[in-house]
Amino acid sequence: MSDFARRLIAWHARQGRHDLPWQNTTDPYRVWLSEIMLQQTQVATVIPYYGRFLERFPTLADLAAAPVQEVMALWSGLGYYARARNLHQCARAVMAEHGGGFPQDPAAIAALPGIGRSTANAIAVFCFGVRAPILDGNVKRVLCRWRGVEGFPGAPAVEKSLWRLAESLLPDGDCGTYIQAQMDLGAGVCSRGRPRCGDCPLAEDCVARREDRVAELPAARPRKALPERESTVLAIMTDGRVLLEERPAAGIWGGLWSLPEVPAGADARAHLESRGWRVGKCRPLPKLVHVFTHFRLTLRPLLVLAEAAPQVAEPGQHWLAAGEVESAPLPAPIRKVLAGLLPVGR
């Protein structure tokens, strides 16, 4: 066993995390669910969602049999909604193609919807005892600092070298503990903002610490100015109900429900009246800025008190009372807009 692996495993026995809800199990469904939820999301945020998912979908078969809208509703607020759609598709693929059980080979796991190499390896390691490395954000940070790896770790060439390094450091046995130790060290000690180098079992030969470059490594993603977008959404209300409409499967908030949008530059009242609405009061609500990975969106909501709706509703539109909005599959910014109008939100 390499000295790197030995130190990590010894540290994990003393300082690692041992009581997270998805630990101490070899159930691929639970491990997979946690791995998907933890992508770009902190543990404290994931824990309540993980519990609600297992309460509603105790088995993979339950998840596969559920309507996708119910899955999206439970995911509402967790962000990166493609994960929820892929989660549902993956559950159905496992049922249809593998008889309801995850394959044990990492390559076969990675062929399932929404599962990349690192997640596939983690499932194989924790559930089937496979010897394989992972390379999530925490592990990348640990390796970049310890070895002094230059460049943005998401760049293809840098990532390829990190995979080689991760493979070379694998112990012959106890791989599950070793992989967990890497993740725990990155999450709790070798953190992005306030690393605790004095508590790190790798500190004595860490290149970043020796060269006083902890704040520089790993290198940040090359910065680009985020494009700005604006959208005017309508909180159309009548008789204590609000109108929501289903978003297209592709694009932002795909598959979720949102407030109707007004075309850029259109007059909201004229737009609605041309579609058969009779509009009473129409006033702006406070704007809301939401930052996505690739652009910044400014939402400009309008409260519209409708006196009469068109006789025929447009496809995918739903009138919901305040008590029904809570369980609707809403993106977090839309839930915030409605929270100021209705008693909704978690």
Cβ-based neighbours of 89, under 8 Å, separated by 6 or more: 113, 114
> Of the listed 35, 167, 261, 324, which one is catalytic?
35
- 55 catalytic residue (yes or no): no
Distances (CA, A) of 207 to 36, 214, 240: 31, 9, 61
β-bridge pairing 296-308 and 228-238: parallel
Query: How far is the C-alpha of 132 from the C-alpha of 170, rounded, in Å?
Result: 7
233 strand-pairing partners: 261, 301
Query: How far is the C-alpha of 209 from the C-alpha of 141, rounded, in Å?
Result: 13
Distances (CA, A) of 176 to 20, 32, 179, 226, 247: 15, 15, 5, 39, 40
Active site residues: 35
